[in-house]
Structures are given as C-alpha cells and as structure tokens.
Structure 1
C-alpha cells in the first residue's frame, strides 16, 4: 500500500469535515422550523390585539419607511408611503413574475437596451424624488409633485431592484445558475411586468377597495423581503453555501437564521423612530 502525500491527507480530512457538516445540516429539520417560525410571526401580526392590522403593519416598518405622502385605498392607509409602496409592491410583483416565466436560475444581465431601461428607471425616480424633496425643503422645484408620480416612478425602481437582487442571489448561491439566460430576454418579458405594475397602479388610484389588502401585504412584505434577502445572502455566505444551492429547500437553514437579524433590524429601527418622535427629535 503506497503512502499518502501530505496534500492527499489534508484533502481527505477536508472532505470528511465537509461530509460531517452536510450530515449535521440534514439532521436538523430546517424546513419545518422555518415554516413554523414564519407562520408564528404571521399569526402574531394578524391576531395580536391592540390595534387594527393596517396600523400594526405601519408600526412594523415605521423605522424603515419615512411614511410621508401616504396613500389610501378604500378608506384604509397603506403601511408604506406612496413612493415606497411603488418600489416594494413592484419588487414583489417582479420577483414573483420572474419565477412565473421560468427565470428562477437566470444569471445573465438583460440585453443592453433593456438594461439601459432599468438604469433609466432609477434615474427617473431620482429626478422625481429630488423634485419632491426640493418642495419639502422650500426650494424651487421643476413641477408639482403628487403621489401618483411617486408611486409610478417607484414601480420602475422596484423592477430594477428585483432584477439586480435576483442576479446577485443566483450568481452568489446557486450551483445550477444558468449564466446564459438573461433575467429578461426580450421586450415582451419586461413589458409583461410593466403591465402588471400599471394594473396595480390603476387599482390604487382608482380607489378599488377590494384590492387594498393584497396590495398592502405585497408592499409590506416587499420592504421586509429586501431586508430579509440581504440577511439571507450574508447568512448563506457565512455558512458556506456559496455556489452550492440547487434547490431553494436547501436554503431553509440560512433562511431560518436570517429571520433573526431581519427582525432585530426592523424592530430596532421602528423602536428608535417611535422614541425619537416621543421626545420631539423628529416629527
């Protein structure tokens, strides 16, 4: 029997350690734990007493969103302001849309004309944002701002944010990422999500009361979802999942752990803002 080289011994030791880690991860039922944790949080949001549901949602994201220039549908106030409602409602719709059209493993930037449109969405929202800010500061602005424009331009930004985050997650974590598949391959695909966004916009500003709860929940989970996905990405990388994911079920462990910083950050920011308001530091 030939003697093993030091390099072979080190490699075998590393393989055994990796195998033990895999067995340990499989031994913990992360899937049910994640589903149970998320369900418990959702039930607490829905059924905890003390205030109406829409105000509980408002309080949860109070530290993340400025919640000025608010919008109402059917007499109920959205948990987010007009611009953030547009951004994060569109973010959620875009993320769902990408999986619906089979882009779950897409790892390539869209063709340059579509990419330029995505960049333009950011620029358009920036222009509208500065225009609104100038008015709030009592400075000359270019045109009268309104909530419709805030939400509309925010929706374009939401498409861009979802596209960028989808690419980052896939290229960082997926083993089976498709590097040749663009997130949006042609104009018809991106026009599809634009039409969906415009229908949601029409429901909001047409004051279609029946749509309040689904749209409010999409916006609410959109803003928390971005925070959660960033925490999920960092947690997954720290746990050694880089380039190893072939099924979303494999992310149950990091996803469960990522709930903790997500809740801590959102809760701390909300508490801090309520405290600052209570002592008169901000209005």
Structure 2
C-alpha cells in the first residue's frame, strides 16, 4: 500500500480501538453474572464445554481439549511474531511439517477415543483431561502455523517466501516448552494463574474465528497482496467484529435455547 492509503485507514484504527475497548469493558464489568460465566456464555455455542477444568476453585470457561487448542494457538502466534516470523511465508522443514501433521492426527485419535466412550462404545484407552489438553496443544500449534501462513501468503505484499515460519526443531520445541508451562499451571492447581490462562484460552478461541473473518473481509475489500503493516487492516479488522460477534451470539443463543428444551446437555 502507498502511504496515502495508510492514512485513510487511521480513522478506522481509532474506531477499532474504541469498539474493542467497549466490548472488553462490557465483558469485564457488565453486571449480573461473574466474569467466568460471561466468558463461558460467549463461547457456549462453539465449545463443547464438557470435561471441564477446575482451577483455583473456578471452572475454566472452555473444556480441557479446547483450553489446550486455543491457548496454544494464541501463544504460538505471539511466539512467531516474537522470533521475527511476522512476514514468514515459507513452509517449515519437512520433519517439522510432518510433526505438525502428526499433532493433528494424534488429537484426532484422542478425540474419537473420548467421543466413543461418551457414546458408550468401545474405545482404545481411558481418556484423561491432561491428555485432552496435551493433544489439543499440539493441534493449536498446527492451526496457528497454518493460519499464519495463509494470512501472510494471501494478504501481505512484503511476505518473505524464503523465510520458513518455523526454521527447525529448536523453534518448535520452544513453543512446546511454553505450552508445558501452561499445562503445569492448569493441572498444578496454581489458582493465581486462573485469570491469565482463562483470558489466553478465551481470546485464542474467539481469535481463530475473528482471524478468519478478518481474512475473508479483507479479500472482499480487495486487500489481497497489498498489506505491508498490520495497521493497514484497521478497516477489515473493525468490520470483522460484526460477523464474529454475530456468529458467537447466534450460536450461543441457539445452544442455550436447545438446553432450555432439554435437547442437549
């Protein structure tokens, strides 16, 4: 984008900050329900919220597997930018790529194993919340790497096709170690970590949906291959809040309605 186009986006940037700030304040301070329940309600339509985690006497807003997936997703995205891969457009080395695919397959196996037990069918082994979270974390890393590559290859003008999103095993192990610290906090019952981890998982979950909405709206508005700085996406980022909130609200409302009829638990 040329500098004048960046200037045009500035009102949208302030609008995004204002709208997001209002939404965050509403989540934090809207009266009537505790904060953890409000977080639970927002994602109620897109998260199974079974096999829950209790940390510091409070129920985590999303279930064990989703806590692993979406906390890992958000932490991996932050990690990629922290190690300088914001413009990376190259695939990771073959071994690392195969490991990411294996993470997806492992979570699928564990997910179906748990699903069959919930249905009262034969299963391979006894499911466990720790295993649900661990396999979810591997899936979260894979989702983050995939979305990061799709985002950069689709929207960035200055994408670096020669820079792999992960250069080797050391960088993959790095994010796995960060996830390991989260796992210790979740299952070591470190109560003081409830709110930091709850927000990481909550914004990781809503962030996946929001990122997809930003990507689609950006394509509709003609941003493909034009972005050099993330602030240039202020307009699609602001507009993407509408479908994100709409999807979350409609799906949560529909599930609460079904539960009121006794059709789902």
Confirm or deny a common fold (TM above 0.5).
yes
Alpha-carbon displacement from aligned partner over 1:68-118 (angstroms, at most 9, x marks no partner):
000011011111100000000000010000000000000011010000000
Q: Are residue 251 (structure 1) and residue 239 (structure 2) matched?
A: no
Give unmatched runs, 5+ long, in structure 2: none
TM-score w.r.t. length of structure 1: 0.91
Q: Are residue 148 (structure 1) and residue 123 (structure 2) matched?
A: no
**1:22 to partner: Cα distance:** 4.2
Q: Are residue 170 (structure 1) and residue 170 (structure 2) matched?
A: no
Counterpart of 1:48 (choices 6, 26, 30) is 30
Q: Are residue 233 (structure 1) and residue 199 (structure 2) matched?
A: no
Counterpart of 1:198 (choices 180, 199, 202) is 180
How far apart in 2 are the matches of 1:59 and 1:50?
Answer: 13
Question: Looking at both structures, which has the greater relative contact order when contacts are Cα pairs under 8 Å and sequence separation is at least 6?
Answer: 2
Counterpart of 1:278 (choices 257, 260, 265) is 260
How far apart in 2 are the matches of 1:22 and 1:134?
Answer: 53
Cα contact 2:10–2:234 (8 A) shared by 1: no
How far apart in 2 are the matches of 1:103 and 1:237?
Answer: 22
Counterpart of 1:214 (choices 179, 196, 212) is 196
How far apart in 1 are the matches of 2:180 and 2:30?
Answer: 34
Cα contact 2:114–2:127 (8 A) shared by 1: yes
CA change 1:149–1:27 in 2 (3 A) is closer
TM-score w.r.t. length of structure 2: 0.97
**1:186 to partner: Cα distance:** 1.1
Task: Map 1:1-283 to 2 at 5 A.
Answer: 22=5, 26=8, 29-283=11-265
Q: What is the aligned-residue RMSD (CA, Å)? A: 1.5
Q: Number of aligned residue pairs: give it.
A: 264
How far apart in 2 are the matches of 1:70 and 1:97?
Answer: 27
Alpha-carbon displacement from aligned partner over 1:166-198 (angstroms, at most 9, x marks no partner):
000000000000000001001111100000001
Three-state SS of the structure 1 residue aligned to 2:60 is: strand
Cα contact 2:9–2:232 (8 A) shared by 1: no
**1:40 to partner: Cα distance:** 0.4
Three-state SS of the structure 2 residue aligned to 1:29 is: helix
How far apart in 1 are the matches of 2:89 and 2:59?
Answer: 38
**1:280 to partner: Cα distance:** 1.5
CA change 1:28–1:96 in 2 (3 A) is closer
* Structure number with larger C-alpha Rg: 1
